[in-house]
């Protein structure tokens, strides 16, 4: 089944050309993404597991058909089951509520000594089957028309925290660090298996790769993360998180990292040292100044040869382009615009970029 979108074959050629040039460092301007704010129509986890796949996709198709895409935006959809659904694949309890998903250890999991905890993939897991089924159905229905994205698998310690609880994992870091290293490594290998399983399906659509974040790639791409890392020292980050990120970067063509909150800036130098990490998404966090108020940090990222993706207001985008130039940035504009306003803004931003 095809879908009638406000997006042409010529638009796709432009997206593929300009995003490919951006990854290569050959685009002399910022990428600017302007899209309908309600494009996605909610979370896939809002629908009970027994809801037929086609019924779920019918809901999202209505939103996709109404969406508009300006600048470097493109049509996309991904099955959203919350940050770190790989924990559900591994037996954690999954509790969807409107607007988010919560994860808890399986019953009795906290009574298992960490040295007795061993992880293995279960192809029959209901959450894994649901994500694969929705991804497969979306490719069959919309392939060639939109990018079908990877679900949010999560980071290795984030997943482990869902299996152990955050408090218990913090204690494990001190009481059983070698076991945490072992389990983190097991999760990394399973993460790569899950990624490959979904990527084999997604590549059949022929419209590149996109994760949960607003980046597009012609190759294997993902937005890596470790929200748990806000609570640990750089020394712990180096031991428990960095090897996972390095392994994932090695398996990807275009790896990004979700730097979420001021507390994670302690780890930025180590992240920037990863040769195969292509870029940083900077999210200042609740209560913090917006991205355009962090110009030294943004310059630091770009001066180390990394790309940078941000969610900004129109004025925030103009500030960044005026002060730092647009090269290397992907700016997702957090304001809905009609076609005329979008075209005017893109013209103004391009003029400021050219004079920066």
Question: Which residues have CB under 8 Å from 43's CB, separation 6+?
Answer: 80, 81, 82, 96, 99, 100, 101
pTM for this entry: 0.96
Cα dist. 31→28, 163, 250, 336, 353 in Å? 9, 38, 25, 17, 11
How many C-beta atoms lie closer than 10 Å to residue 47's C-beta? 18
Q: Six-digit token pair at 175?
A: 């009481």
- Rounded Cα–Cα distance for residues 116 and 176 (Å): 12
One digit per residue, pLDDT tens: the chain, 356 residues? 568 888 999 999 999 999 999 999 999 999 999 987 665 678 999 999 999 999 999 999 998 998 999 999 999 999 999 999 999 999 999 999 988 999 999 988 778 899 999 998 888 999 999 999 999 999 999 988 999 999 999 999 999 999 999 999 999 999 999 999 999 999 999 999 999 999 999 999 999 999 999 999 999 999 999 999 999 999 999 999 999 999 999 999 999 999 999 999 999 999 999 999 999 999 999 999 999 999 999 999 999 999 999 999 999 999 999 999 999 999 999 988 999 999 999 999 999 988 87
Decide: 54 and 133 in contact? Cβ < 8 Å. Answer: no
pLDDT at 279: 98
CA angle, 248 then 310 then 351, to 5°? 130
How many C-beta atoms lie closer than 10 Å to residue 292's C-beta? 22
Q: Which CATH architecture has domain 9-355?
A: Alpha-Beta Barrel (3.20)
pLDDT at 112: 87
Decide: 225 and 86 in contact? Cβ < 8 Å. Answer: no
Task: Give kind and range of the element (H or E) at residue 133.
Answer: helix 126-142
pLDDT at 39: 57
Segments making up each domain of the chain, as ranges: 9-355
CA pseudo-torsion sign 126, 129, 133, 134: positive
């Amino acid at each position: 089944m095809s879908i009638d979108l406000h997006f042409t074959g010529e638009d796709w050629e432009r997206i593929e050309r300009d995003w490919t040039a951006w990854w290569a460092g050959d685009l002399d301007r910022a990428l600017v993404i302007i899209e309908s704010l309600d494009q996605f129509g909610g979370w896939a986890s809002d629908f009970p597991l027994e809801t037929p796949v086609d019924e779920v996709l019918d809901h999202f198709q209505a939103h996709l058909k109404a969406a508009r895409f300006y600048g470097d935006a493109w049509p996309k959809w991904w099955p959203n089951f919350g940050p770190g659904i790989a924990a559900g694949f591994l037996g954690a309890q999954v509790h969807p509520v409107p607007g988010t998903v919560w994860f808890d250890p399986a019953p009795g999991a906290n009574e298992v000594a960490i040295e007795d905890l061993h992880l293995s993939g279960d192809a029959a897991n209901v959450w894994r089957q649901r994500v694969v089924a929705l991804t497969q159905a979306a490719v069959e229905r919309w392939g060639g028309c939109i990018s079908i994205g990877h679900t949010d698998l999560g980071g290795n310690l984030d997943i482990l925290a869902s299996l152990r609880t955050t408090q218990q994992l913090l204690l494990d870091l001190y009481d059983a660090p070698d076991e945490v290293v072992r389990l983190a490594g097991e999760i990394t290998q399973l993460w790569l298996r899950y990624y490959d399983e979904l990527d084999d399906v997604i590549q059949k659509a022929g419209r590149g790769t996109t994760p949960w974040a607003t980046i597009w790639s012609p190759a294997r791409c993902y937005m890596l993360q470790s929200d748990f890392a806000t609570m640990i020292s750089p020394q712990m980050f180096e031991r428990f998180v960095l090897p996972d990120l390095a392994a994932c970067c090695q398996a990807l063509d275009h790896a990004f990292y979700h730097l979420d909150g001021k507390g994670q800036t302690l780890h930025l130098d180590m992240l920037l040292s990863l040769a195969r990490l292509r870029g940083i998404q900077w999210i200042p966090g609740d209560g913090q100044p917006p991205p355009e108020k962090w110009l030294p940090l943004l310059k630091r990222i770009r001066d180390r040869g990394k790309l940078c993706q941000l969610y900004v207001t129109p004025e925030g985008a103009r500030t960044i382009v005026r002060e730092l130039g647009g090269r290397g940035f992907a700016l997702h504009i957090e304001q809905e615009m009609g076609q005329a306003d979008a075209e005017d803004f893109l013209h103004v931003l391009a003029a400021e970029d050219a004079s920066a």
